[in-house]
Amino acid sequence: MILAPRKTSVETPEEKPERKLLVSFEEMRIRLERLRELDKVRLHHLFDDEEVHRFCDTLGVEFRSRVFTPAIELGLFVSQVLSRGDACTTVMAKFNRERKNSGLSPVCEDASAYTKARARLPVRLIDYVSDLIRKMAHEMTPDDWKWKGYNVYLVDGFVLRAPDTLANQKKYPQPSSQKVGLGFPQVRVVATTSLSSGCVVHYSTAPVEGKKTGEVSLFREKHKDFEKNDIVVADSNFESFHDAALLLRRGVNMVCCINGSRNSPFEGACEMIEEKFTELQKPSFDSSRFTRKEWKRLPRQILYRMICFRVANCETPLTIVTTLTDRQRFTAEDIVELYGWRWDVEVDIRSYKSSMGMWELRCLTPENLDREIAVAMLGYNLVRVLMCDTAAVLEVHPREISFSSARDAWLAFEDERETIDDIAWMIHSAASHFVRTRPGRSEPRAIKRRHTKYPKLTEARPSHRSKKKKKRNPKIAPQKA
């Protein structure tokens, strides 16, 4: 197994396993003491307000020393995003409670000062702090959390919906297939997460339509962030000669499902794992895909390893392509098992969109949309750091910990991380649930619960409103004498 086995299986009427903590609270505290002596408690390495302000000096971010400093504003914004998007007035009420406990005077709760200060937060500061947290978690990742000691990264894209304002429509327009006034602005996001720690390594945003806004183009911008011997696992959308060659030039390997435009070399029924080696030739020049200079720099051919296997409860076999050509170090079974963990990036996206409520953004301008997405990535990485510490204490893998439970624990104890007892309480709360294994699970892509009883709008609201008004107040023609 790549990762440690899950702790709890799906409940059945015949068997319902009891949910118990693996260790007692006192044992947790003892293990935390040992980790602190080794300087391996990640939560102790998070930044305080003074360090955030030093980052502002490093990045050249100027601010005035008032109530809403960048550090305080960033903390409030992260808490707001993690708590499923509390209203700004709710954030101010919680902030005044903290000021009351600290013996400070209250601030106005109309939230205007908070929203103005939030709009001044530079995205580069947010990304800088998030990247430092990700690097800290990466450096403290033990080898037994990795796949054969290698750093594996999962890549996928998703779309977020934004409020329908003129400013948002201008930068992130709605799909061209929808009528004006009926759709919502859409933001495409391509994110890379770590298989071992679960942190977001990097991300890119763009409109859903337009040149160089596809998932592959956005991912290609981040090739420089990978290091030698890294492994990228993605779905068939990211499989191409161009990307495989560019990554190989950096010493990075890919594992993908075969692209739909490429023919599989396997014929007949696949009863077991089969593999073949093939030399993929450089495609013809296409000005819509790359420049002449980029095309000339590509190698004439690359060696592809193709593996065909059958998934349980699936009639059609899958074909995997990879640049990991060493059969002694990486067997076909190893590659198949590694690609099976690609689904974890889908779970990561679900945690970001559903558990954190980010599938529908709330800001009314594109600048604030970028801040909202960046702060959500920061909050996501903070929760992942807590999951890593919880896994280290319980001696399991971080992906066995429930993201929702860890998020709730962070919100409950985020201001209490000074002592070992504080962190023990936070980990005790985060360890309340484990992710269950669902071997061979097959579910239809359909929903049972209907969201609303009202019909969908089929024309722009102002036009619909005016027609309804005319229907209620018809003009009466004057009668002839």
On whether both 102 and 190 belong to a single domain, the answer is no
* Count of domains observed in the chain: 2
Share of the chain above pLDDT 90, in %: 58
What per-residue confidence (pLDDT) applies to 175? Answer: 87
**17, part of any domain:** no
On whether both 285 and 338 belong to a single domain, the answer is yes
**131, part of any domain:** no
Domain boundary among 349, 383, 405: 349
On whether both 156 and 298 belong to a single domain, the answer is yes
On whether both 230 and 96 belong to a single domain, the answer is no
**361, part of any domain:** no
Q: Does residue 4 have a pLDDT over 50? A: no
On whether both 114 and 159 belong to a single domain, the answer is no
In this predicted structure, which of 48-57, 154-163, 280-289, 363-372 has the lowest mean pLDDT? 280-289
Q: Does residue 15 have a pLDDT over 50? A: no
How sure is the predictor about 321, in pLDDT bands with cuts at 50, 70 and 90?
very high
The model carries a pTM of 0.89
On whether both 117 and 150 belong to a single domain, the answer is no
**130, part of any domain:** no
On whether both 265 and 337 belong to a single domain, the answer is yes
**98, part of any domain:** yes
Q: Does residue 11 have a pLDDT over 60? A: no
Q: Please count the other Cβ atoms lying within 10 Å of the Cβ belonging to residue 174.
A: 22
Residue ranges making up the domain that contains 79: 25-123+367-430
On whether both 113 and 231 belong to a single domain, the answer is no
What per-residue confidence (pLDDT) applies to 479? Answer: 61
Q: Does residue 12 have a pLDDT over 60? A: no
Q: What are the pLDDT digits (tens) for 204-226?
A: 999 998 887 889 999 999 999 99
On whether both 345 and 378 belong to a single domain, the answer is no
Domain boundary among 409, 430, 451: 430
What per-residue confidence (pLDDT) applies to 25? Answer: 87
**446, part of any domain:** no
On whether both 217 and 108 belong to a single domain, the answer is no
On whether both 323 and 192 belong to a single domain, the answer is yes
